[in-house]
């Protein structure tokens, strides 16, 4: 293969892909990842790592920590998933996408290995990221869990620090039907003698983390016990959050990630920075303040309460489970508009009873289906939504739904795009082509 597009097409078509195929692509062991990395001479053992898990907030937390480390002068790898526009979003160093040539060379060099092991798309992507970070001699890499934790392909690393953001209902068909069961899967990233930060204390799940940490002799701290964070305000540029530690010292932080849920994430980020300092990393308060103001520019993160346009007024957010939707609703409640146009789509395997009942009934809905086999047909989504009092029309594509919302838009309205990563991705792609 000589072309990047050929290499990506090979990976997409040859390998099982969770975002496209659903649970059939999820491998319930680490065997393939171990085989792949062994064949690559275990690159993941040759650089330092942070490991980030959680139902919501793990992506934002990963990007914030990567931005802080890069601002402090460390060559910082960042592995995240899924991507929104470009496969290479998954693998970055100091915010820069991995080169197309690297992807092509990796596939060409290891094609025989890929076909021998038959990994999932996610498994080979993880191995590719580890290989890239090792070849680029990163000082540290921030590794975001894909799904769960215990059986996630990223869980072959031995990190300096583990961070678990929060626990909520998502992927119950794979992770369990109770918060305790889901927490047990996330707790699987807690490693022996390795400190762990839990961003948010919750009565129902705290014992799961405490017990696992005790078994592993892992020092554990809950960030919400160490930092009290509250939103001071939000404007066109920044969310301002005040953080007060247990000694009573307060500082105000400006975040360019403006969703209200970042108030919770910030506590975990600040405690993780404290832990990194204890481990010898030289990170000043100025580094933290400057990095948090520039996370989007530094890391390229998109889709977190992101304003796409002022006129028409368009916001997107990738929140797609119960907790994520609650946070979206909090943000909508603090946003000024007189009519809401909601462009929405969902996957077939989503339990929509954890999302649809909470959505505003006075909005106009534009039901759509992302362009992938796993997507729920828009007509089916509309019928389910009707049972919860949500009304609107169904459209054959995300693009058609988005166009209809823009056509109906009037001054003072808000168009919100969400319900699925893939709805947001298709709208972002359409805007980049305009």
Name which of 92-101, 174-183, 322-331 the model is least confident about: 174-183
pLDDT digits (tens, 9 = 90+) for 341-392: 999 999 887 778 888 999 999 999 999 999 988 899 999 999 999 999 999 9
pLDDT of the residue at 321: 75
pLDDT of the residue at 29: 81
pLDDT of the residue at 172: 47
Cis amide linkage into residue 82, ω under 30° from 0 = yes
Could you give the percent of the chain with pLDDT greater than 90? 79
Could you give the percent of the chain with pLDDT greater than 70? 94
Is a pLDDT exceeding 80 seen at residue 228? yes
Is a pLDDT exceeding 50 seen at residue 171? no
Give the residue from 143, 172, 178, 201 showing the smallest Cα distance to 321: 172
Is a pLDDT exceeding 50 seen at residue 194? yes
pLDDT of the residue at 24: 46
Residue 382: left if φ>0, alpha if ψ -120 to 50, beta else—which one?
alpha
The highest-confidence range among 7-11, 42-46, 370-374, by mean pLDDT, is 42-46
Which structure tokens are listed for 52?
């980030």
Which structure tokens are listed for 213?
């940490």
pLDDT of the residue at 181: 87
Is a pLDDT exceeding 60 seen at residue 169? no
pLDDT of the residue at 323: 79
**Averaged over 268-291, what is the pLDDT?**
98
pLDDT of the residue at 55: 84
Task: Yes or no: say if 53 and 268 are a contact pair by the CB < 8 Å rule.
Answer: no
Cα 37 versus chain centre, distance: 24
In the chain, the N- to C-terminal Cα span, in Å, equals 30
Task: Yes or no: say if 153 and 129 are a contact pair by the CB < 8 Å rule.
Answer: no
Name which of 69-73, 194-198, 345-349 the model is least confident about: 345-349
Task: Yes or no: say if 144 and 52 are a contact pair by the CB < 8 Å rule.
Answer: yes
Give the residue from 48, 86, 82 showing the smallest Cα distance to 65: 48
pLDDT digits (tens, 9 = 90+) for 159-168: 999 999 987 6
Which structure tokens are listed for 393?
């029309």
pLDDT digits (tens, 9 = 90+) for 124-168: 999 999 999 999 999 999 999 998 889 999 999 999 999 999 876
Task: Yes or no: say if 133 and 93 are a contact pair by the CB < 8 Å rule.
Answer: yes
Tell me what the pLDDT averaged over the chain comes to: 92
**Averaged over 385-405, what is the pLDDT?**
97
For residue 170, name the pLDDT band (cuts at 50, 70, 90).
low
pLDDT digits (tens, 9 = 90+) for 216-227: 999 999 999 999
Q: Which domains does the chain have, with CATH numbers?
A: 4-299 (3.40.1190.10), 306-433 (3.90.190.20)
Residue 371: left if φ>0, alpha if ψ -120 to 50, beta else—which one?
beta
pLDDT digits (tens, 9 = 90+) for 304-321: 999 999 999 999 999 877
Name which of 208-212, 313-317, 330-334 the model is least confident about: 330-334
Q: What is the pTM of this model?
A: 0.90
Helix pair 31-39, 100-117: axis angle to 10 deg: 120
Cα 91 versus chain centre, distance: 13
């Amino acid at each position: 293969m000589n072309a990047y597009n050929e290499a990506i097409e090979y990976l997409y078509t040859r390998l099982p892909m969770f975002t496209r195929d659903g649970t059939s692509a999820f491998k319930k062991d680490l065997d393939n990842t171990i085989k792949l990395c062994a064949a690559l001479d275990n690159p993941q053992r040759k650089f330092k790592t942070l490991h980030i898990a959680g139902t919501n907030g793990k992506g934002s937390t990963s990007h914030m920590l990567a931005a802080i480390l890069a601002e402090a002068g460390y060559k910082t790898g960042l592995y995240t998933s899924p991507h929104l526009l470009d496969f290479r979003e998954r693998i970055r160093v100091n915010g820069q996408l991995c080169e197309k040539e690297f992807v092509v060379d990796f596939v060409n060099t290891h094609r025989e290995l890929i076909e021998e092991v038959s990994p999932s798309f996610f498994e080979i992507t993880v191995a590719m990221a580890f290989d890239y970070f090792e070849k680029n001699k990163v000082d540290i890499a921030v590794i975001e869990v894909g799904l769960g934790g215990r059986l996630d392909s990223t869980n072959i690393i031995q990190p300096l620090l583990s961070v678990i953001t929060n626990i909520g209902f998502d992927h119950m068909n794979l992770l369990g039907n109770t918060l305790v069961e889901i927490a047990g899967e996330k707790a699987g990233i807690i490693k022996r003698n390795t400190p762990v930060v839990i961003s948010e204390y919750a009565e129902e799940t705290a014992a799961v983390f405490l017990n696992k940490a005790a078994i592993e002799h892992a020092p554990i701290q809950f960030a919400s016990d160490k930092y009290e964070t509250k939103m001071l305000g939000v404007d066109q540029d920044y969310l301002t959050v005040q953080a007060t530690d247990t000694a009573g010292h307060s500082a105000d932080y400006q975040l360019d990630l403006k969703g209200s849920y970042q108030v919770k994430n910030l506590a975990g980020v600040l405690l993780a920075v404290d832990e990194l300092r204890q481990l010898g990393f030289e990170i000043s308060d100025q580094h933290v303040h400057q990095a948090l103001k520039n996370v989007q520019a530094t890391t390229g993160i998109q889709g977190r309460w992101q304003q796409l346009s002022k006129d028409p007024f368009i916001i997107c957010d990738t929140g797609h489970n119960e907790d994520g939707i609650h946070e979206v609703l909090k943000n909508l409640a603090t946003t000024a508009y007189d009519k809401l146009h909601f462009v929405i789509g969902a996957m077939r395997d989503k339990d929509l009873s954890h999302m649809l009942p909470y959505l505003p009934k006075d909005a106009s809905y534009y039901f759509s289906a992302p362009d992938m086999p796993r997507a729920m047909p828009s007509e089916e989504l509309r019928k389910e939504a009707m049972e919860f009092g949500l009304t609107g029309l169904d459209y054959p594509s995300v693009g058609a739904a988005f166009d209809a919302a823009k056509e109906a838009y009037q001054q003072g309205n808000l168009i919100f795009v969400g319900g699925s990563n893939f709805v947001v991705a298709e709208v972002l792609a359409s805007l980049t082509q305009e």
